Amino acid sequence: MKQQARGTRLIVLSLDGMRPDLYRRADELGLNVPHLRELAACAASAEAVESVFPSTTYPAHATLVTGVPPRVHGIYSHLASLDPTEKARPWHWFAAAIRVPALWSLARVHGLKTAAVSWPVSAGAPIDFNLPEIWDPAAPDPYQDFQTVVAHSTPGLIEELLQHFKSALRSEPDRLRGEAALYLWREYRPDLLLVHFVGYDQQAHVHGPQSREALKALEVADAELGRLREAAAADGRVTLVVLSDHGFLPVEKEAAPLVVLAEEGLFGVRSKQPELQRLGAVPAGGSFALFWLEEPSAPERRALDRALQRLQDSGAVAEIFDRRKLEALGSDPDAEFILDAAPGFCFSDRFTGPLIRPSQHDRGTHGHLPARPGLEAAFIVAGPDIAPGKNLGRIQLTEIAPTLAQLAGVALDELASEAEPLDLL
């Protein structure tokens, strides 16, 4: 039996890629995150959160607001395109792609006011004050592509914000997002505020999960958390949730499955550029999904089998998940196979060069099977109805949306999730 809803104003802060061991080992790492440390000590928190497969930002954030795995909500990866030859591939920015009710829709039904800052898969969502995460995939710097954000935000909201903090536009992405969240919280007093911080994830990819650059970005996010925490404390009955979508693993080598797939004749060539035939592909850092876009011929199936064997023999692949295993994982029902990268490897989308080479772009990644050590996500919750210092143990990402719904006062039976809310008392 699902529990009765309580109902408080709710702030949900997602610190993309943050592992819980980072703030637990802050002294050892030389990491200055006083707000994360204090909240983890005095609030209720999980030892670890197991993400979804693939353990990437967009599928995970869709799960955070629906309580169901990718197979149910329909956001199987960050990319909306299955064509690896496409130069600027669109992402799953639009909420219309989510196949089940999300928290923002249920909140509206219950008369709650909502706001969101850069929440993945939220463009076009029924959010009262919405600044979605979206950009032109051909833009050289997506975090400075304000025109696309303006086109999909609540009308007039970006212009209003620009008048408020024009000087902050060239600051770190998380400072900008924190400033926008504070403005929305103070000016419009939403019942549900969703905020997505990205700085740590960006730096952990480029420099590594425990690099000085990544830890510095986490310190910036912690400072923004502190400002929002102070604003929440001034407003009385507010619940503050800090969470993440996945963890991070270090990377040393890069494998390019498309190189082998092309050598086996599964992609054509036109004007010296790779050409799509029947096989689609989606790289996701620690995983790589393969799709038959049309019914393959027998020679094409044999070519894919040869390619998979070569990839497995290379040492870059820890496991290959077929349709049966993917169903058990709640993953993409259309994928023929998804490859899980071996320790120290990430997958790239290049068609040229050697199959394996030292990683040139990523020093950290995620996307692998979420049970792998190091991919744990975080969950901390503090508020008037929360038992201080309670250890929630190891939880599933699917348990979070029902818990948020209960905290916000949304009827739990309206969620598609079969998970129960966490016991926070």
Which of the 8 DSSP states describes residue 299? H
Q: How far from the centroid of its chain's Cα atoms is residue 124's Cα?
A: 18
Average pLDDT on 295-322 reads: 98
Nearest to 153 by CA among 180, 178, 174: 180
Instruction: Return the structure tokens found at 363.
Output: 């020093």
Give the pLDDT confidence score for residue 162 in this predicted structure. Answer: 84
| Model confidence band, residue 2 (pLDDT cutoffs 50, 70, 90) | very low
Distance CA 291, CA 54 (A): 15
Instruction: State yes or no: pLDDT of 4 exceeds 80.
Output: no
Q: What is the pLDDT of residues 353-398, one digit of tens each?
A: 999 999 998 999 999 999 999 999 999 999 998 999 999 999 999 9
Q: Using CA atoms of 201, 119, 65, 411 in order, give the dihedral in degrees to the nearest 10.
A: 140
114 vs 103: CA distance, rounded Å: 10
Reply yes or no on whether the pLDDT at 303 is more than 60: yes
50 forms bridges with which residues in the sheet?
Answer: 396
Does the pLDDT value for residue 339 go beyond 80? Answer: yes
Domain boundaries, the chain: 9-248+372-414, 250-365
Asked whether the beta carbons of 266 and 337 are under 8 A apart, the reply is no
Euclidean distance between CA atoms 243 and 64, whole angstroms: 10
In this prediction, residues 75-84 reach a mean pLDDT of 97
Evaluate whether 9-248+372-414 and 250-365 have a shared fold.
no
**Computed from CA positions of residues 5, 177, 232, 223, in that sequence, does the dihedral angle turn out positive or negative?**
positive
Measured CA to CA in angstroms, residue 300 lies from 74, 192, 258, 338, 424 at distances of: 28, 50, 15, 17, 53
Give the pLDDT confidence score for residue 411 in this predicted structure: 84
9-248+372-414 folds as: Alkaline Phosphatase, subunit A (3.40.720)
Measured between alpha carbons, how far is residue 225 from residues 38, 193, 204, 219 in Å?
Answer: 12, 13, 19, 10
Mean pLDDT (whole number) for 334-341: 98
Nearest to 304 by CA among 290, 293, 286: 290
pLDDT at 169 exceeding the cut of 70: no
Query: Parallel, antiparallel, or unpaired for β 273-275 and 268-270?
Result: antiparallel
Assign 271 a pLDDT band (cuts: 50, 70, 90): confident
Cβ-contact 245, 327 below 8 angstroms: no
The string of pLDDT tens digits covering residues 189-201 is: 999 999 999 999 9
Class assignment of domain 250-365? alpha beta
Provide the strand spans (E) within 16-86: 44-45, 48-50
Whether pLDDT at 320 is above 50? yes
Candidates 152, 191, 186, 145; CA nearest to 169 is 145
Among 117, 141, 135, 4, residue whose Cα is nearest residue 61: 117
Percent of residues, the chain, with pLDDT higher than 70:
97
pLDDT tens for each residue of 239-265: 999 999 999 999 999 999 999 999 999
pLDDT tops 90 at residue 165: no
Is the backbone of residue 160 left (phi > 0), alpha (psi -120 to 50) or beta?
alpha
Q: Which two tokens stand for residue 411?
A: 């009827």
Average pLDDT value for residue range 131-149: 86
CA–CA gap between residue 340 and residue 316 (Å, rounded): 9
Average pLDDT over residues 51-55: 98
Percent of the chain residues topping a pLDDT of 90: 88
- In the chain, what's the furthest Cα-to-Cα distance? 67
